[in-house]
Structure formats: C-alpha cells, structure tokens
C-alpha cells in the first residue's frame, strides 16, 4: 500500500514560493499537504531519531512511534476533500489520538489536539491564528503529562510556539512564520542536553523533540516548493487492527499472519497472496513476512503460508462483524456488550506467547500483544477495553512507554477505566494477582499499584546501541541487566548477568525467584540458570516459566 | 409452651457440655473418603481421614445428612416441643439444608420446623447455634430466634488460604469464573466465604504476603466480637504460619484473644487437608 502524493505548487498551496507573493492563509487542503509533508520528512528521519534513544535497551523507538502516530493522523485526512482547516485539524487530532504509540506519540497527539481546538470552526488560518494554535498545542501537551519534564518534546513545542507568536506579530507571511518556528525548534532541540542531564551523559539530543522539529521542517520544505512522497507501508504493516472497509460487498475474512522462515521470496508471496483475495498486503524480508489479505476462504492463505515457514500472530476476523462494528463506532453508538455487573475486567499488555498465557491463566480478560519492542497504539488498547465484558476495566501497561497511551483510553471510552502504571511484566503479574474481587475498581487500582511496587524486576537483554549512561559505558551487543528499569549491570553471558543481578537485589532476602525466559533462550539454558539459582539460593523457591518474550533473555522477579 | 429446640450438624464444633446444657441435637455427617463411607460424629477429629485425603485429592467426596436422619430427629423432638430450629452448614457446601427441608414437610401441622441456611461452616455455624440455644433457654419464641440468627448471619466472615485448589475444584465449589486452576505460577489463593459460597478474594505467592492478607483482613474490622483461627490437625506449611500470624494479630489488636481450633474432616473435603482460615464475628 504505497501511496504517492505529488504536489505541485498551485492555487491552493499553503505558503509562499521563493519567487511568488507571500501566502497569508492556509485552508484545509493546505494543512493536509503540510501534514503529509511533515510525515514524509519524518519517514526519512525515522532511523536517525530512533538512534537518539538514550537507553540502549530494545524498546519502542521514538522515531517509529512518532511516525506511526503521524501515519494514523494522515490516514484520517488523505482522502478528505475538506476545505475547512478546522475540520482537517480535528481529523488529524483524532487520527493521531487513536494511533498514538509510546509516550512521544501520545504527546504528539496532544499537540495536534490543542492545535485543532484553536482552529475549531475556522476556514483558513493566518499567521496570528497559527501562532495561537501552536501555543494551545504546547499548552495541551504540557497538561497531558503528569510531571512535565523540560528538555523534551514539550520544551521544543513551547519554544517553537513562542517563536511563532513573535514572528506573527510582525508578519502575515505564513512561510516566514513557519521558518521562524523551525529555526527555533532546531535550536530548542540542540539545547535539550543542557536541560536534561541524562541526554548530556548519553551525548544525544531529545528524540521526541527532534521528531517534532523534523515534522515542522518537512512542512517548511514543502512550503518552499519541495515535493514529497508519503510511503505508508510501515503503518499498514504494523497496524494489526487496521480496518479495511470498502463498499458493501465482498466481505469474507480478514486474515493476518506472519511467516517466519529462511530465504522467503517476498515478491512471490505477494503475488500468490494477491491472487487469493482483496486488499492483499505482504511486507517483510527473507526471514519474516507479514501477510494481510481479505478472502472468502481463510484456510487458503494460511495453508500456503504454513508451507513456507512457521506461522505466528495468526488472526482471522469475520469482516461482516467488523464492518458492523465499524459502522456502529462511526455512528458514535457504543457497542452494547453483555456485562457482568460488579466484575472488574483487566486489559494487560504482554510480549510473547508464554507471558500471554501466564496473564490469561491469572484471569486477565484481554491480553494486548506488545511491550518493549512494539508499543500498542491507543486504539489497540481502546479496542481491548471495549471488548471486555464489564464496565469497570483496569489496564496494566507493563511498560513505561505504554502508560500514557493507556491513560488516553479513559477519555475515549464510556467505561470506567483505571490505569495501574506498571512498568514491567513482573509488576503486571503482581498487580493482577492482587486484584480483589470484593473491592471496587478505584480501591483495586490502589491495591494493585501497591502490590506492583513490592516486587523487584530484573531484565536481561542486549544493548542495541553503544551509550554512556548511569556512569556505565555500554557497547552495542553487550548483555545488560536492568533492575527496576535502571541499567545496573553488563557482561558477556546472559546467565552470568542474571545471577549477578540476583546478587545485586539481594535475592536471599526474598521468598520466590521467578524466571521468565525469552525466545532467544533455549529450555536447557533456562534450566541451567534455574539450577544455578537454586544452588545459590537454596532457601528460595525458584520458578522457571517459558515467557517467549522477544529481545529479552530473561525477565525475573524476586518477591 | 415448651422451649424451642435446636438441631444442627456436627461441623458446628460445639462443646459437649454446652450441647448437654441446652439439649442441642447434633447430627453426624457422612463423608466419603476413598471407597469408605465415614460417619463423623461429635468430637471426632478424624486425623487419619486428613491423611488419607492428602494422599489423593480425587478420593474425598461430598457430604450430606440424609432426610431420614433428620426425620428421626424431628420425630423424637416433636414429643418434647412444638418448635424446632434447624441451623446447618451452608447449603452451597452441603446437601443437609435441602434434606432437612424435605424431612420437615412431613411434620406440617404437628410441629413448627424452621430450617435456616447458616451460609457458614464450622465455628461460624457454631456461633449462631450457641446464640440460638441461649435464646431458646430464655424461652424466646421461634420467630424471635430466627430473626436474631438472621441478624447475626451477615456479620460472620470467613477467609482462608488453601495449599491446593484441586479439592475445591473437584467439588465444584469454586466458581469457574474465578480462573484459578491451571495457573502457570504457584499461587496461594485467599478465599472468602460469601453468602455461603466460596469465592476467590485475592491471590498471593509468598508466605509474607499471605500473612499480611490474613492480618489485614482481621484488622480492617471496626469492631470484633469474636475471632477464631481454623487450622488443620495435620502438619502443613500453612500451619507453620500460625505463630507469626498470632504474633502479628496481637500486635495489631492487643486486647483481642486469638484461639485456634482444628477444622473438621467435613470442611476438609472442601478445602483440602491443608488450609488455614480465620472466622471473624464483628458483632451486631
């Protein structure tokens, strides 16, 4: 699904060309192109922004998260013929909100939200309105986080808005004002390390701030006459819950899966799958290919895929049902669910099949796949919340970078939602165990948050970049150990780092050591760690569970 | 008019002197362990049964008092009184309540028999029976006593930890929605008897958390009239928690007495031979 949008500078162009007269107004079509241009420029810088992440852990990367958020925003408007800038801005805000992934994505969506609020009912903006909208955008973003931190995207948004206000006071040329905004954003980004010491130590600027700067810069470049191309492949590939509703007929099944194998021929798979149905989407490389197709016979593509390699994340959905759900949601009618009065539903985020089973076995109502490497979007979390058959829902994000997106669901759903801000899988498990069926949802949120705090989390993974942090110098590829989310140890072997970490947390003072081993670890390796742990801590119970999580050798807890 | 006479089952755990004094009829309960049927009468600890149950959770099975036993008891009492109050183990755990009702119908017109579901077990049931017996000895009328017992009933709370869930699961006494069996982690569930039914309250993994939950449960009451710790007569890991549990409870509530009794083999068919519970009566 690659879409090319080539824009000539014409009658509706949003801003001035170098040689033409200054542009004073930007209407809906203009804003749409600006958003497209910002998105396109962000796409080109995604990896560079990812590389700015301070932490060397495999995590939902800022560049990717912001890009997915922007793509979701753009999808809302790409086919819209709307002239009114206020309506386009609303659509952008909605798309960004639903597609928001990771903290940076959520903050970006807040920026669009504030922006849209100012433009509500406005046909086209001039420099003064633009400046006001940018100020409101920054203010909304600040309000969206509980403890705003300077030296982040928030600072960049605020300072860029201030520059807009200054420039708008003396000019009615949108191009000029935008240029001032971008200049200030760039400078603001370069100042982030002086505001946030952790950036200075790692020798980087803030990734989220840089993301915002890049989006604004893409807009500026377009306003100066550069063309852009939007490549939506990433969004399509990653958004499992993307609804493809087209026309009234031809509903069959929506089939999705990932083939893992060797020497997979993506082109050939794409051709074959395309012949099996509509809306075929096949992306990937020689080792993993993601397939998405609408077909009346779901078995056909699945059998074909299974013949090429091992399948994972297989989902089959009846599109007629989806369509109805979609229509209902569009009509703003809440989908009526059978409800168990008094029961509290739980939505948890978990990486890996093993951990998913653990959460399910403990009674989680819904498990959203995701975690360290893939942060689910607000929309995915919202879907999960809506599907739970109770009105009171507790969400356990189990990752620092998912908490904000989880918080967003509160405003989007009619349900009574509490987010317990768990930052790791063991915290999520401790919280879920503490769920008290007798207590109400608010009391439970308290009880569960407290239970989560009483557990020590150890995570063993591999550094994905070389970085200087917490006084430690870590080389890419080294095994690193995090304790309660803070990098504390490094080494060459996962088992050895895991044992060191147990020493560091004084496992001898606790009762139970639980080891969830990841997909990179064999059962034998896990057993070996288990034996060594039992030997070293004979007084403690050691439990080993196949977590199946990606990228993390071991996730461990002591309690 | 003669005083109301009280009928209960053996799980009420009554002192023999009290039974004698208030002329309480205590009916034995039949349980099946393995292939053998055991009739548990007053004062039988049944330690050997606990051990048998520990060997094979699939073997112990449920419990009742047949209607014929109630019928005989009612026939006997009807010669002495026109008012009988039957208070038995929770109908969610035993068939005795239903059997008593069936038996009582034969006496319509001859003798008033009210059958009450205690929605409790063991010492909790005993507490209601004692109160009813005392009231009867003061010549209160049947309806007055029934009202009084119904008043006590919602103020009795029973929480417990079990070492293994298969006893509850096998007996079908735990709601399927509780989703406890088949959990991949070793957990100790904290269970609550609510409206006579066993429901999962919380799940804990560590000894210390288990202790904390039990202590919290007791200390959260604004007032406590009486409290009793229920333990297994056979050695278990949970019994090992008792000294510390008492210590913590005394620290929290220095004026309260914390005594321990063994729970009976009948309750053991539900909870298993390794369980630890606390019953609290908060008073009226």
In terms of domains, do B136 and B95 share one? yes
Q: Which domain holds residue A435?
A: 344-450
pLDDT for position A146: 78
In terms of domains, do A54 and A169 share one? yes
Instruction: Pull the structure tokens for residue A256.
Output: 């999705």
Q: With CA atoms as reference, report the closest residue to A377 among A149, A75, A85, A153.
A: A75
- Coil, strand or helix at B250: helix
Question: What pLDDT band is residue B1 in, cutting at 50, 70 and 90?
Answer: confident
CA distance A521 to chain B (A): 19
Does residue A66 belong to any structural domain of this protein?
yes
**Is residue A430 pLDDT above 70, yes or no?**
yes
**Is residue B211 pLDDT above 70, yes or no?**
yes
Contact B209 A559 (CB under 8 A): yes
In terms of domains, do B46 and B116 share one? yes
Q: Give the residue-averaged pLDDT of B93-117.
A: 93
* Per-chain mean pLDDT for chain A: 84
In terms of domains, do A278 and A391 share one? no
Question: Which chain A residues are within 8 Å of B204, Cβ to Cβ?
Answer: 433-434
Question: What pLDDT band is residue A173 in, cutting at 50, 70 and 90?
Answer: very high
**Is residue A544 pLDDT above 50, yes or no?**
yes
In terms of domains, do B12 and B93 share one? yes
Does residue A97 belong to any structural domain of this protein?
yes
Q: What is the pLDDT of residues A179-219, one digit of tens each?
A: 999 999 999 999 999 999 888 888 889 999 999 999 999 99
Instruction: Pull the structure tokens for residue A143.
Output: 């309000």
Q: Choose the closest CB to A433 out of B178, B184, B203.
A: B203
What's the CA gap between B245 and B234, in Å, rounded? 18
Of A450, A482, A499, which residue is a domain's last?
A450
- CA nearest B200 in A: which residue? A437
A262 vs B104, higher pLDDT? B104
- CA nearest B213 in A: which residue? A434
**Is residue A165 pLDDT above 80, yes or no?**
yes
In terms of domains, do B143 and B159 share one? no
**Is residue B201 pLDDT above 90, yes or no?**
no
Q: How far is CA A342 from the centre of its chain?
A: 32
Q: Give the residue-averaged pLDDT of A29-56.
A: 90
Q: Which domain holds residue B231?
A: 155-281
pLDDT for position B173: 63
Instruction: Pull the structure tokens for residue A188.
Output: 């603001």
Question: Which chain A residues are within 8 Å of B209, Cβ to Cβ?
Answer: 454, 559
Question: Which chain B residues are within 8 Å of A362, Cβ to Cβ?
Answer: 179, 183, 185, 187, 203
Burial (Cβ within 10 Å: 0-12, 13-18, ≥19) of residue B191: buried
Does residue A181 belong to any structural domain of this protein?
yes
Burial (Cβ within 10 Å: 0-12, 13-18, ≥19) of residue A508: middle
Give the E-state strand segments of A242-391 in sequence order: 253-260, 278-284, 288-295, 310-318, 344-350, 366-369
Q: Give the residue-averaged pLDDT of B130-138.
A: 96
Of B130, B153, B176, which residue is a domain's last?
B153
**CATH number of residue A321's parent domain:** 3.30.70
Contact A559 B202 (CB under 8 A): no
What's the CA gap between B27 and B12, in Å, rounded? 10
In terms of domains, do A496 and A438 share one? no
In terms of domains, do B188 and B146 share one? no
pLDDT for position A231: 61
Contact A437 B183 (CB under 8 A): no
pLDDT for position B62: 64
The residues of B whose Cβ lies within 8 A of any Cβ of A are: 177-180, 182-187, 192, 194, 199-209
| Residue A339 at interface with chain B, using a CB cutoff of 8 Å | no
Question: Which chain B residues are within 8 Å of A438, Cβ to Cβ?
Answer: 192, 194, 201
Contact B183 A361 (CB under 8 A): yes
In terms of domains, do A210 and A302 share one? no
In terms of domains, do A151 and A75 share one? yes
- Coil, strand or helix at A104: helix
* C-alpha count within 13 angstroms, C-beta hemisphere, residue A127: 25
- In b/e form, how buried is each residue of A421-444, taking b as 16+ CB within 10 angstroms? bbbbbbbbbbbbbbbbbebebeeb
Q: Choose the closest CB to A358 out of B185, B194, B207.
A: B185
In terms of domains, do A228 and A86 share one? yes
pLDDT for position A323: 45
The set of residues, in sequence order, having a beta carbon less than 8 Å from that of A185 and lying 6+ positions away, is A156, A159, A160, A163, A209, A212, A213, A216, A217
In terms of domains, do B56 and B130 share one? yes
**Is residue B153 pLDDT above 90, yes or no?**
yes
In terms of domains, do A54 and A155 share one? yes
In terms of domains, do A461 and A399 share one? no
**CATH number of residue A493's parent domain:** 3.30.1180.10
Report ipTM (2 d.p.): 0.74
Total Cβ atoms within 10 A of residue A395: 31
Q: How many domains does chain A have?
A: 4
Of A450, A481, A504, which residue is a domain's last?
A450
| Residue A338 at interface with chain B, using a CB cutoff of 8 Å | no
**Is residue A1 pLDDT above 50, yes or no?**
no
In terms of domains, do A171 and A229 share one? yes
Question: Which chain A residues are within 8 Å of B186, Cβ to Cβ?
Answer: 512, 541, 543
Q: Flag the least confident range among A104-108, A138-142, B186-190.
A: B186-190
pLDDT for position A352: 85
**Is residue A130 pLDDT above 80, yes or no?**
yes
Does residue A107 belong to any structural domain of this protein?
yes
Of A305, A330, A355, which residue is a domain's last?
A330
Question: Which chain B residues are within 8 Å of A429, Cβ to Cβ?
Answer: 185
> What pairing do the DSSP bridges indicate for beta strands B60-64 and A344-350?
unpaired
Tell me if B204 sits within 8 A of B252, measured CB to CB: no
Q: Choose the closest CB to A438 out of B186, B201, B205.
A: B201
pLDDT for position A342: 52
| Residue A463 at interface with chain B, using a CB cutoff of 8 Å | no
Phi, psi of A535 (to 5 degrees): -65, -45
Does residue A7 belong to any structural domain of this protein?
no
In terms of domains, do B144 and B187 share one? no
Does residue A8 belong to any structural domain of this protein?
no
Question: What pLDDT band is residue A284 in, cutting at 50, 70 and 90?
Answer: low
A273 vs A531, higher pLDDT? A531
Does residue A15 belong to any structural domain of this protein?
no
Contact B199 A343 (CB under 8 A): no
Tell me if A258 sits within 8 A of A298, measured CB to CB: no
Of B125, B153, B181, which residue is a domain's last?
B153
Q: Flag the least confident range among A29-38, A155-164, A476-485, B205-214.
A: B205-214
| Residue A525 at interface with chain B, using a CB cutoff of 8 Å | no
Q: Choose the closest CB to B184 out of A357, A510, A559.
A: A357
Q: Give the residue-averaged pLDDT of B82-88.
A: 96
In terms of domains, do B120 and B174 share one? no
In terms of domains, do A119 and A204 share one? yes
Of B106, B129, B153, which residue is a domain's last?
B153
Give the E-state strand segments of chain B in sequence order: 5-9, 25-27, 29-33, 36-40, 60-64, 83-88, 112-117, 156-162, 188-194, 197-204, 226-231, 259-262, 275-281
**CATH number of residue A377's parent domain:** 3.40.50.510
**Is residue B79 pLDDT above 60, yes or no?**
yes
Task: Determine the residue among B161, B185, B197, B201 to mutate to test chain A binding: the one whose Cβ has the most chain A Cβ atoms within 10 Å.
Answer: B185
Question: Which chain A residues are within 8 Å of B177, Cβ to Cβ?
Answer: 340, 343
In terms of domains, do A215 and A102 share one? yes
Q: Give the residue-averaged pLDDT of B118-133.
A: 95
Total Cβ atoms within 10 A of residue B45: 13
Contact B186 A438 (CB under 8 A): no
Question: Which chain B residues are within 8 Å of A512, Cβ to Cβ?
Answer: 186, 205-206
pLDDT for position A333: 32
Q: Give the residue-averaged pLDDT of B43-61.
A: 78
CA distance B100 to chain A (A): 32
Q: With CA atoms as reference, report the closest residue to B264 among B23, B20, B30.
A: B30
CA distance B165 to chain A (A): 14
Contact B186 A362 (CB under 8 A): no
Total Cβ atoms within 10 A of residue A343: 15
Q: How many domains does chain B have?
A: 2
Contact B182 A357 (CB under 8 A): no
DSSP B240: G
Question: Which chain B residues are within 8 Å of A434, Cβ to Cβ?
Answer: 202-204
Q: Give the residue-averaged pLDDT of B66-77.
A: 95
In terms of domains, do B141 and B187 share one? no
Question: Which chain B residues are within 8 Å of A454, Cβ to Cβ?
Answer: 209
A45 vs B168, higher pLDDT? A45
In terms of domains, do B216 and B149 share one? no
| Residue A545 at interface with chain B, using a CB cutoff of 8 Å | yes
Question: Which chain A residues are within 8 Å of B205, Cβ to Cβ?
Answer: 433, 511-512, 559
Instruction: Pull the structure tokens for residue A18.
Output: 């170098």
| Residue A439 at interface with chain B, using a CB cutoff of 8 Å | no
Contact B183 A343 (CB under 8 A): no
**Is residue A14 pLDDT above 50, yes or no?**
no
In terms of domains, do B31 and B129 share one? yes
Q: What is the pLDDT of residues A318-353, one digit of tens each?
A: 665 544 444 344 333 333 333 344 588 999 999 988
**CATH number of residue B265's parent domain:** 3.30.1180.10
Q: Choose the closest CB to B184 out of A433, A438, A545.
A: A545
Contact A559 B206 (CB under 8 A): yes
pLDDT for position A337: 37
**Is residue A311 pLDDT above 50, yes or no?**
yes
CA distance A482 to chain B (A): 23
Does residue A184 belong to any structural domain of this protein?
yes
What is the interface size between A and B, counted as CB pairs within 8 Å?
Answer: 57
In terms of domains, do A257 and A274 share one? yes
Contact B199 A437 (CB under 8 A): yes
Question: What pLDDT band is residue A10 in, cutting at 50, 70 and 90?
Answer: very low
**CATH number of residue A162's parent domain:** 1.25.40.340
Q: What is the pLDDT of residues A407-426, one digit of tens each?
A: 999 989 999 999 999 999 99
Question: Which chain A residues are within 8 Å of B207, Cβ to Cβ?
Answer: 511
Question: What pLDDT band is residue A247 in, cutting at 50, 70 and 90?
Answer: very low
Q: Choose the closest CB to B184 out of A340, A358, A434.
A: A358
In terms of domains, do B90 and B198 share one? no
- CA nearest B204 in A: which residue? A433
* Per-chain mean pLDDT for chain B: 88
What's the CA gap between B75 and A233, in Å, rounded? 84
Task: Determine the residue among B180, B206, B213 to mutate to test chain A binding: the one whose Cβ has the most chain A Cβ atoms within 10 Å.
Answer: B206
- CA nearest A435 in B: which residue? B202
CA distance A431 to chain B (A): 10
């Amino acid at each position: 699904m690659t879409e090319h949008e080539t824009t000539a500078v014409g009658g509706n162009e949003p801003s001035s060309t170098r040689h033409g007269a200054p542009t004073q107004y930007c209407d809906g079509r203009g804003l749409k192109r600006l958003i497209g241009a910002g998105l396109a420029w962000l796409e080109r810088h995604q990896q560079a922004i990812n590389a700015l992440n301070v932490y060397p852990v495999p995590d939902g990367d800022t560049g990717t998260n912001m890009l997915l958020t922007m793509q979701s925003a753009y999808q809302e408007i790409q086919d819209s013929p709307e002239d009114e800038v206020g309506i386009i801005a609303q659509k952008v805000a909605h798309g960004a909100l639903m597609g928001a992934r990771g903290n940076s994505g959520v903050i970006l969506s807040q920026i669009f939200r504030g922006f849209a609020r100012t433009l509500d009912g406005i046909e086209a903006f001039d420099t003064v309105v633009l400046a006001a909208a940018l100020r409101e955008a920054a203010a909304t973003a600040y309000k969206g986080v509980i403890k705003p931190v300077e030296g982040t995207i928030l600072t960049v948004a605020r300072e860029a808005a201030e520059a807009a206000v200054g420039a708008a006071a003396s000019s009615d040329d949108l191009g000029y004002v935008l240029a001032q905004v971008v200049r200030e954003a760039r400078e603001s980004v370069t100042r982030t390390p002086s505001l946030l010491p952790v950036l200075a130590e790692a020798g980087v600027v803030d990734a989220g701030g840089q993301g915002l700067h890049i989006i604004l810069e893409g807009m500026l470049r377009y306003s100066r006459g550069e063309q852009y191309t939007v490549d939506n492949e990433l969004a399509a590939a990653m958004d499992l819950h993307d609804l493809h509703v087209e026309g009234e007929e031809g509903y069959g099944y929506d089939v999705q899966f990932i083939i893992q194998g060797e020497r997979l021929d993506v082109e050939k798979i794409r051709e074959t799958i395309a012949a099996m149905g509509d809306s075929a989407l096949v992306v990937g490389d020689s080792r993993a290919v993601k397939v998405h197709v609408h077909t009346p016979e779901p078995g056909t593509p699945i059998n074909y895929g299974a013949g090429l390699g091992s399948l994972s994340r297989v989902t089959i959905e009846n599109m007629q049902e989806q369509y109805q759900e979609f229509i209902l949601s569009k009509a703003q009618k809440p989908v009526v669910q059978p409800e168990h009065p008094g029961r509290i539903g739980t939505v948890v985020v978990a990486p890996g099949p093993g951990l998913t089973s653990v959460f399910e076995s403990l009674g989680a109502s819904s498990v959203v796949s995701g975690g360290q490497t893939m942060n689910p979007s607000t929309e995915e979390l919202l879907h999960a919340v809506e599907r739970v058959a109770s009105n009171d829902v507790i969400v356990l994000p189990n990752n620092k970078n998912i908490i904000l997106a989880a918080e967003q669901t509160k405003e989007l759903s009619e349900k009574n939602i509490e987010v317990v801000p768990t930052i790791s899988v063991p915290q999520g498990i401790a919280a879920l165990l503490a769920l008290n069926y007798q207590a109400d949802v608010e009391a439970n949120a308290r009880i569960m948050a407290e239970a989560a705090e009483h557990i020590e989390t150890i995570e063993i993974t591999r550094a994905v970049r070389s970085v200087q942090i917490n006084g430690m110098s870590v080389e890419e590829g080294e095994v690193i150990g995090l304790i309660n989310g803070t990098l504390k140890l490094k080494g060459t072997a996962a088992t050895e780092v895991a044992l060191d970490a147990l020493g560091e947390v004084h496992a001898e003072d606790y009762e139970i050591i639980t080891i969830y081993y990841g997909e990179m670890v064999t059962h034998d390796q896990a057993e070996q760690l288990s034996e060594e742990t039992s030997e070293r801590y004979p007084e403690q119970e050691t439990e080993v569970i196949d977590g199946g999580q990606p990228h993390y050798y071991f996730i461990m807890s002591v309690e | 008019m003669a005083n109301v006479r009280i009928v209960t089952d053996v799980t009420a755990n009554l002192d023999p002197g009290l039974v004698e004094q208030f002329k309480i009829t205590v009916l034995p309960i039949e349980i099946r362990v393995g292939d053998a049927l055991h009739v548990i009468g007053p004062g039988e600890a049944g330690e050997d049964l606990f051990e048998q149950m520990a060997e094979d959770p699939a073997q112990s099975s449920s419990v009742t008092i047949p209607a014929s036993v109630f019928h005989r008891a009612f026939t006997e009492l009807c010669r002495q009184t026109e008012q009988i109050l039957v208070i038995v183990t929770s109908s969610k755990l035993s068939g005795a309540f239903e059997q008593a009702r069936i038996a009582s119908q034969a006496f319509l017109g001859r003798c008033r028999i009210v059958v009450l579901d205690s929605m409790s077990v063991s010492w909790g049931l005993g507490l209601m029976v004692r109160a009813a017996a005392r009231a009867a000895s003061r010549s209160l009328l049947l309806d007055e006593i029934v009202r009084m017992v119904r008043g006590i009933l919602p103020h009795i709370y029973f929480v417990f930890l079990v070492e293994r869930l298969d006893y509850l699961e096998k007996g079908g006494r735990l709601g399927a929605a509780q989703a406890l069996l088949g959990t991949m982690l070793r957990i100790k569930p904290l269970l609550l008897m609510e409206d006579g039914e066993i429901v999962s309250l919380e799940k804990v993994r560590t000894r210390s958390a288990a202790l904390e939950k039990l202590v919290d449960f007791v200390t959260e009451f604004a007032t406590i009239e009486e409290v009793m710790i229920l333990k297994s007569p056979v050695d278990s890991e949970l019994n090992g928690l008792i000294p510390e549990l008492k210590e913590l409870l005394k620290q929290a509530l220095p004026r309260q007495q914390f005594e321990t009794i063994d729970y009976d083999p009948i309750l053991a068919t539900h909870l298993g031979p390794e369980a630890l519970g606390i019953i609290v009566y908060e008073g009226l």
